[in-house]
Amino acid sequence: MGEVVMVLGSYLLRMGLVILLLLSGLHPSVLRAQTHYSHRFTRALEDCNATFIQPIENQYRPKMLRKDAFGRYDQVIETRSKDFEMRFMLDPNYHKDVPNITCLALASSLATNAQHFDIQINIFPQEDAQAYYHADWAAYADFIPKRSLTDKYYARLVTIYRVGSGIMHQIMLFDEHSDEKDRRLYSLSFKDPTDSF
């Protein structure tokens, strides 16, 4: 009899946890598939008063690369197929108020120096930077990366800036142009200053 009560109690406890997870909007299988982000990255997001839209579960995994000749990364993730990689550099202490120069300098250092390749920079109009990123300034640059940076053929740098919150860079590296680079264009944003949460 005591054994039946113990099995029944264990079953009820598990069911209670499943119900609690379902009520909170999480499915139990999601917990096992969650990508874990570095403490440094989550702290930098908090310090920048920013948010990160996570990729679809189980498509990306963390990559162990914290620093190279081009900078120190707060987080690096790549697809499980290793054909798309994202590197994030967040600076909550950026107070220079020249994000355009900072973005161009970083893109120039990441891009190949071959003469027949250009860096294409696309600056968002201020109302779009505000609408998409809650930022004062935003741009992205497409270029061919240096071989010392990656073995991928193409790169995109997204830079967003807000006075008082800092500057954030996202570097996307990939071999083929796909919708993923456009979907991930909005991975980072500053929190809406009008939100109370």
Q: 173 or 12: which carries more pLDDT confidence?
A: 173
Residue 14: pLDDT above 60?
A: no
- Which is nearest to 190 in space by CA: 130, 142, 140, 150? 130
Residue 7: pLDDT above 60?
A: no
Instruction: Give dist(CA 110, CA 141) in Å, integer.
Output: 11
Q: How far is CA 173 from CA 5, 67, 109, 129, in A?
A: 56, 16, 15, 23
23-32, 41-50, 69-78, 97-106: the lowest-pLDDT one: 23-32
Residues 35-190, CATH architecture: 3-Layer(aba) Sandwich (3.40)
Residue 197: pLDDT above 70?
A: no
Q: How far is CA 85 from CA 39, 125, 145, in A?
A: 19, 27, 13
Instruction: Give dist(CA 74, CA 49) in Å, integer.
Output: 15
Mean pLDDT of the chain: 83
Phi-psi map region of 58: left, alpha, beta (phi>0 left; psi -120 to 50 alpha): left
- pLDDT tier, 196 (very low <50, low <70, confident <90, very high otherwise): low
28-32, 35-39, 100-104: the lowest-pLDDT one: 28-32
pLDDT tens, 138-182?
A: 999 999 999 999 999 999 999 999 999 999 999 999 999 888 889
Domain ranges of the chain: 1-33, 35-190
- pLDDT tier, 23 (very low <50, low <70, confident <90, very high otherwise): very low
pLDDT on residue 8: 41
| Residues 143/117, Cβ–Cβ less than 8 Å | yes
The pLDDT of 122-128, averaged and rounded, is 98
pLDDT tens, 34-83?
A: 557 889 999 999 999 999 998 876 788 998 877 787 889 999 999 999 99
